[in-house]
């Protein structure tokens, strides 16, 4: 009996060890639009994410900004615990405050651990509770092998992720927060008289790089998630376990070079080719009586508008672009539902056209949905917001993902947003 008990203890111990970090090196390269894996090595092996963790901290912050529970100018309190975090840090003082925008920039550039705790406590009360929120969000995003224990990525045996999961998180940040994703391209950040440069050197020395995050602890080695866009195609690459930051950077560049070469050689099944840009049409309304209608062109992106099957709009569809009724300032879609916004304009007509073109561009989701043009008085005059609505959250995010892929400037609009 004792032998059996001892065997069970050993077996359980081995299982526990097996569930912790394994091979430090792992990598993956994916097509950001389709998710197709172009390269993979140990991509599902759990490793320590280190400061790649802050990508999820930022995802939670962007989500809070979008739903209105956080604003960029909101002053967040610095706790004694936050101030006591080890480097890398800003050196924040307990009892002081820092703007949410500065916290975001500190996370992106300096990878500041004290700033990570400030954000965690602002959104979750305690960092442990925030970590549970992060893990729950990871599951919702399909990150099945990721668990978070803190907001910074500082060493914790239970804080684990994979290269594949981190590529999914990068995809989600691009898809769900296109307007906030630009923070990841910040090359330097000045706070309290000191300037901090972004640790991601690819922003300066690898063409097309616009983010996203580096990470390092001794147990993980040098990690990096990079997003690179060339010729209207975007790759996301992840490397865990680099020996040095320089060797990691050299390696991920090689993986990306091979990825772009492979992408050029293959045709992704079921994905229509990306249309080439053409000059933006100066004529928004189309004449239904003209039998020689030219292809409709988006006033937002300059890209010819096609159906979901990749075909040009029919004359009837093109003609309808000039006949949709404009919504009044207060006649938006139901405040209880989600929507998408595809731009804010100084005149109502182009706003209406942008919303209508968006609906035609993703007909399987938006063709039957109401269009509204909302007027908003700002410091620089009246702006007209172009929206399509009455969606659930899943449909709104998917529509925005597809619109962003077609170069629309799309933002998901939560219920109750003005």
Angle at 293 between CA 288 and CA 294, to 5 degrees: 145
Phi, psi (degrees; rounded to nearest 5) at 271: -110, 115
The answer to whether 349 and 408 are in contact (CB under 8 A) is no
Cα 253–chain centre separation: 21
In the structure encoding, which two tokens stand for residue 6, read together? 């001892």
Closest CA to 82 of 72, 70, 94, 90: 94
Give the three-state DSSP class for 228.
strand
Nearest Cα residue to 369 out of 398, 334, 344, 401:
334
**Looking at the annotation, which residues are catalytic?**
51, 54, 111
Three-class SS string for 55-120?
Answer: HHHHHHHHHHHHHCCCCCCCEEECCHHHHCCCCCCCCCCCCCEEEHHHHHHHHHCCCCHHHHHHHH
Tell me the backbone φ, ψ of residue 191, rounded to 5 degrees: -145, 130
**DSSP 8-state class, residue 332:** P
Alpha-carbon distance values, 78 to 84, 96, 103, 117, 126 (Å): 10, 5, 11, 8, 12
Beta bridge partners of 387: 341, 372
Contact 344, 384 (CB under 8 A): yes
């Amino acid at each position: 009996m004792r032998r059996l008990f001892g065997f069970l203890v050993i077996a359980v111990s081995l299982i526990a060890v097996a569930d912790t970090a394994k091979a430090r090196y792992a990598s993956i390269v994916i097509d950001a639009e389709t998710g197709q894996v172009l390269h993979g090595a140990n991509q599902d092996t759990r490793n320590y994410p280190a400061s790649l963790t802050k990508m999820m901290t930022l995802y939670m912050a962007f989500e809070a900004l979008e739903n209105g529970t956080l604003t960029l100018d909101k002053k967040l309190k610095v706790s004694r615990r936050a101030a006591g975090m080890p480097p890398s840090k800003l050196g924040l003082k307990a009892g002081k405050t820092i703007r949410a925008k500065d916290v975001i920039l500190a996370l992106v550039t300096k990878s500041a651990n004290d700033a990570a705790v400030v954000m965690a406590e602002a959104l979750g009360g305690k960092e442990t509770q925030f970590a549970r929120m992060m893990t729950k969000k990871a599951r919702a995003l399909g990150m099945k092998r990721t668990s978070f224990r803190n907001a910074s990525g500082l060493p914790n045996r239970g804080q684990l992720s994979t290269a594949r999961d981190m590529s999914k998180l990068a995809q989600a940040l691009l898809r769900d927060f296109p307007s906030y994703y630009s923070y990841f391209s910040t090359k330097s950040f000045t706070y309290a008289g000191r300037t901090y440069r972004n640790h991601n050197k690819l922003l300066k020395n690898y063409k097309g790089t616009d983010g996203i995050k580096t990470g390092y602890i001794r147990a993980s080695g040098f990690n990096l998630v990079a997003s690179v866009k060339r010729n209207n195609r975007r790759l996301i690459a992840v490397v865990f376990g680099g020996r040095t930051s320089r060797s990691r950077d050299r390696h991920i560049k090689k993986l990306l070079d091979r990825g772009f070469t492979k992408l050029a050689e293959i045709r992704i099944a079921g994905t229509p080719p990306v249309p080439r840009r053409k000059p933006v049409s100066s004529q928004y309304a189309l004449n239904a009586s003209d039998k020689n209608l030219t292809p409709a062109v988006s006033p937002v992106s300059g890209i010819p508008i096609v159906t979901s099957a990749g075909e040009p709009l029919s004359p009837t569809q093109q003609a309808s672009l000039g006949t949709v009724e404009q919504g009044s300032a207060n006649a938006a879609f139901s405040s209880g539902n989600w929507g998408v916004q595809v731009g804010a304009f100084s005149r109502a007509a182009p706003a209406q056209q942008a919303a209508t073109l968006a609906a035609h561009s993703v007909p399987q989701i938006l063709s039957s949905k109401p269009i509204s043009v909302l007027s908003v008085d700002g410091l620089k005059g009246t702006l007209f917001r172009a929206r399509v609505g009455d969606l659930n959250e899943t449909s709104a995010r998917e529509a925005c993902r597809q619109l962003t892929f077609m170069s629309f400037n799309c933002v998901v609009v939560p219920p109750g947003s003005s």
